[in-house]
Amino acid sequence: MGAAPNDHLSMRPVAVVLLAGALLWAALFTFGCDSGGARDVKPDGAAAPADSSETSADSATVVVDSTKEDGGKASLLSRIFRKGKGKEKEGGKLPVPVEIAKVEVMNMRSFIAATATLEPEKQADVVARIAGEIRSIRVEEGDAVREGELLALLDGEAQEVALEEATARARGLRLDYERVSRLLKQDLVSDKEMNDARSKYEEAEAQRKAAELNLSYTRVVAPFAGRISRRLVDRGRNVTAGTVLFTVVDSDPMLAKIHLPEKTASTIRRGQRAVITPDADSSVSVEGEVDLIAPIVDSRTGTIKVTCRLRGGSDAIRPGSFVHVRLQTDEHEKALVIPGIAIVPEGGESYVYKASGDTVIKLAVSTGFTEGDRVEITGGLEEGERVVTVGQGGLRNGARIRDVNESIRTDTTAQGSEPAASGDSTAVDR
């Protein structure tokens, strides 16, 4: 007879339970659990064997296997939790990758820092002395010139004619003066006639010199040796007297004028060493010295002007360049020095992580001068000790570390030895 519909409904929960159990067993075996599962588990409702003894034995087998099944499940869960805890514990002990530097010995200097704009010691605008047309230009911007070198020529025809006229007149009056002088010796002329002839000649001579001077103004020359920084006119342009034609600068030496607080400036002396670094290229440094110290304090700013002189010659150091000026005030010889990035500020104090074997020790240190990316250590470390420079954020006192630079060197050495080892193996095989 077929089963009643209600019987099918009553079997659904049992089927669901069996399906869930099967899925659980599949999951357990996926995790690699070698559990002692039941070998002969008989489903409910199966017919019992005829022999009662066999039934008893089978029942015992089922009981035993059920016990193993429960033990296997418990073993699996405990192993999973133990494995997770083991990984977590092991992860906590993994070394932190860091970079390390040694404490070195070197001289450290103290500086007063300021900024300035470089100025040439000599700079001049070359102007036209007379009006006229620019006939030729002999130099361009950036050209080096000597003192008195010709820069440009103006039209000078009118000045040449005026000079010739003045010269001829002065020559005639000079002859008249010489003739009157001879007549005076013979008492043939009066002293008044002699004086008039002399004054006329001297006036004509002065006019000749003025005409000669005006003609010289048609030649525009350099007032001193230097370079042409600006050319403001072109050939053919008509200019008036006073028009700026060129700008000439002498950039050797150059001046850096800085303003320091009165208290700071009191420690500065003439001849004191200065280091000038252009803002555009910090790798370039030029040495100079303090040349002038203003005798008064600027009442508006409370500062004193200090002028530093430096030699030019570098393309990175030019008039108008924005520069950083450092005045050396003190020097410590044979100081202990570490990279500045090794310092860990905390609570107003300075700390470092000192490497000791494969662990670190957090130490408080005292610092001195700072020069560039180096910091002087005045207490807390000794020469040759190692400190962490990169990776401090993941460290604590006693943490394990791994020097990444040392690891790279080790890997490089191992890679370099591989060809030799391969060659040895080949030789052995042969």
Domain-located, residue 34: no
> 327 and 337 share a domain?
no
**Amino acid occupying residue 143:** D
pLDDT tens per residue across span 87-132 = 444 445 688 999 999 999 999 988 889 999 999 989 999 999 999 9
**In the structure, what pLDDT confidence band is assigned to residue 30 with cuts at 50, 70 and 90?**
low
199: domain CATH number?
1.10.287.470
Total structural domains in the chain? 3
The arithmetic mean of pLDDT across residues 328-340, rounded, is: 90
Average of per-residue pLDDT values in the chain:
79
**In the structure, what pLDDT confidence band is assigned to residue 394 with cuts at 50, 70 and 90?**
confident
- The rounded percent of the chain whose pLDDT value lies above 70 is 73
Domain-located, residue 1: no
Say which residues have a Cβ less than 8 Å from residue 169's Cβ, sequence separation at least 6.
204, 207, 208
> 290 and 362 share a domain?
no
Contact 380, 342 (CB under 8 A): no
* Sheet containing strand 219-221, strands side by side: 219-221, 150-154, 132-137, 238-239
> 347 and 398 share a domain?
yes
The arithmetic mean of pLDDT across residues 15-38, rounded, is: 58
> 313 and 260 share a domain?
yes
Contact 74, 33 (CB under 8 A): no
Contact 329, 368 (CB under 8 A): no
> 312 and 347 share a domain?
no
User: Is the pLDDT assigned to residue 42 strictly greater than 60?
Assistant: no
Q: Which SS3 state, helix, strand or coil, does residue 142 take?
A: coil
User: Is the pLDDT assigned to residue 419 strictly greater than 80?
Assistant: no
Domain-located, residue 323: yes
pLDDT tens per residue across span 131-152 = 999 999 999 998 999 999 999 9
pLDDT tens per residue across span 249-294 = 988 889 999 999 988 888 899 999 898 988 888 888 888 999 999 9
* Chain length of the chain: 430
Domain-located, residue 133: no
Which of 24-28, 285-289, 393-397 has the lowest average pLDDT? Answer: 24-28
399: domain CATH number?
2.40.420.20
> 301 and 355 share a domain?
no
Side-chain-side CA neighbours of residue 187 (13 Å):
0
Cα Rg for the chain, rounded, in angstroms?
A: 50
**Amino acid occupying residue 362:** K
> 365 and 327 share a domain?
no
CA–CA distance, 368 with 159 (Å, rounded to integer): 72
Question: Which token pair is 359?
Answer: 């662990």
CA–CA distance, 271 with 327 (Å, rounded to integer): 11
Domain-located, residue 53: no
pLDDT tens per residue across span 293-303 = 999 999 999 99
Domain-located, residue 65: no
> 318 and 348 share a domain?
no
Domain-located, residue 24: no
Range of the domain at 315: 110-116+251-331
Which of 9-18, 66-75, 169-178, 220-229 has the lowest average pLDDT? Answer: 66-75
* Comparison of pLDDT for 252 and 44, the residue scoring more: 252
Side-chain-side CA neighbours of residue 321 (13 Å):
24
Interior/surface letters 394-424, b for 16+ CB within 10 angstroms, e for the rest: ebeeebebebeeeeeeeeeeeeeeeeeeeee
Domain-located, residue 353: yes
> 161 and 191 share a domain?
yes
